[in-house]
Homo-oligomer: A and B are copies of this chain.
Amino acid sequence: MIQVEERKQLFLGLHDLKPILEPQSVAVIGASRQIGSVGHAVLSNLLMGQFTGVVYPVNPKARSICGVRTYQSVLEIPDFVDLAVIIVRANLVPQVLEECGQKGVKGAIVISAGFKETGPEGAKLESKVKEIAQHYDIALVGPNCLGVINTDPNYRLNASFAKEMPLPGNIAFVSQSGALCTAVLDYAKGQGIGFSKVISLGNKADVNENDFIAYLWQDHHTQVILLYIEELSNGRKFLQLAREITGEGDNRKPILALKAGRTPAGARAVASHTGSLAGSDEVYEALFAQAGVLRADTVEDLFEYAVAFANQPLPNGKRTVIITNAGGPGIMATDACVRYGLDLAQLDEKTLEQLRSKLPPHASLQNPIDLIGDAQSDRYEAALDAVLDDPNVDAILVLLTPQAMTDIENIAYTIVKKSKRKVKPILACFMGLVDISSGVKVLEENGVPCYSFPEDAIRALAAMARYVDWVRRPRTGYKVFPVDTERARKLLSEAPISEHGFIPEEIALRVLEVYGLPMLPWGVAKNADEAVLVAREIGYPVVLKVLSPDVVHKFDLGGVQLNLKNDDDVRQAFEKIMNSVKQHIPNARIEGVLVQAMAKKGREVILGLKRDPQFGPILMFGLGGIYVEVLRDVTFRFAPVRELGAYRMVRDIRTYKLLEGVRGEPPADIDKIVECIERLSQLAIEQDLIEELDINPLIAYPQGEGAVVVDVRIMVNR
Once the chains bind, are A265 and B338 in contact (CB under 8 Å)? yes
Number of interface residues of A (CB under 8 A): 88
Greatest chain B CB density within 10 A among A265, A269, A658 is at: A269
B residues within 8 A CB of A118?
A: 362
- Nearest neighbor of A300 in chain B, beta-carbon distance: B453
Once the chains bind, are A186 and B270 in contact (CB under 8 Å)? no
Known contacts: A368-B269, A405-B36. The answer to whether A331 contacts B260 by CB under 8 A is yes
Once the chains bind, are B228 and A175 in contact (CB under 8 Å)? no
> Which residues in chain A, 330-370, are within 8 Å of chain B measured between CB atoms?
330-332, 334-335, 337-339, 344, 362, 364, 366, 368, 370
B residues within 8 A CB of A268?
A: 334
In the complex, A460 Cα to B49 Cα: how many Å? 40
A654 within 8 A of B: yes
Once the chains bind, are B297 and A455 in contact (CB under 8 Å)? yes
B residues within 8 A CB of A666?
A: none
> Which residues in chain A, 175-214, are within 8 Å of chain B measured between CB atoms?
175-180, 182-191
A586 within 8 A of B: no
- Nearest neighbor of A437 in chain B, beta-carbon distance: B190
Interface segment, A215-223, A396-404, A535-543? Answer: A396-404
A421 within 8 A of B: no
User: Shortest Cβ distance from A715 into chain B, in angstroms?
Assistant: 22
Greatest chain B CB density within 10 A among A179, A334, A337, A631 is at: A179
In the complex, A530 Cα to B326 Cα: how many Å? 68
A663 within 8 A of B: yes
> Which residues in chain A, 256-289, are within 8 Å of chain B measured between CB atoms?
260-266, 268-270, 272-274
A328 within 8 A of B: yes
In the complex, A332 Cα to B265 Cα: how many Å? 11
A523 within 8 A of B: no
Interface string of A605-627 (1 = CB under 8 A from B): 00000000000000000000110
B residues within 8 A CB of A272?
A: 364, 366
Interface string of A8-41 (1 = CB under 8 A from B): 0000000000000000000000000000101001
Known contacts: A36-B405, A299-B453. The answer to whether A177 contacts B335 by CB under 8 A is no
> Which residues in chain A, 360-418, are within 8 Å of chain B measured between CB atoms?
362, 364, 366, 368, 370, 373, 401-405
A2 within 8 A of B: no
Once the chains bind, are B230 and A335 in contact (CB under 8 Å)? no
User: Shortest Cβ distance from A373 into chain B, in angstroms?
Assistant: 6
A432 within 8 A of B: yes
- Nearest neighbor of A372 in chain B, beta-carbon distance: B113
Once the chains bind, are A182 and B269 in contact (CB under 8 Å)? no
User: Shortest Cβ distance from A380 into chain B, in angstroms?
Assistant: 15
Once the chains bind, are B434 and A179 in contact (CB under 8 Å)? no
A436 within 8 A of B: yes
List 19 A-B residue pairs with CB atoms under 8 Å apart, sorted by A's residue number.
A161-B404, A163-B404, A179-B329, A182-B401, A182-B403, A183-B432, A184-B432, A186-B433, A187-B431, A187-B452, A190-B434, A262-B338, A262-B339, A263-B334, A269-B331, A273-B328, A273-B370, A626-B658, A626-B662
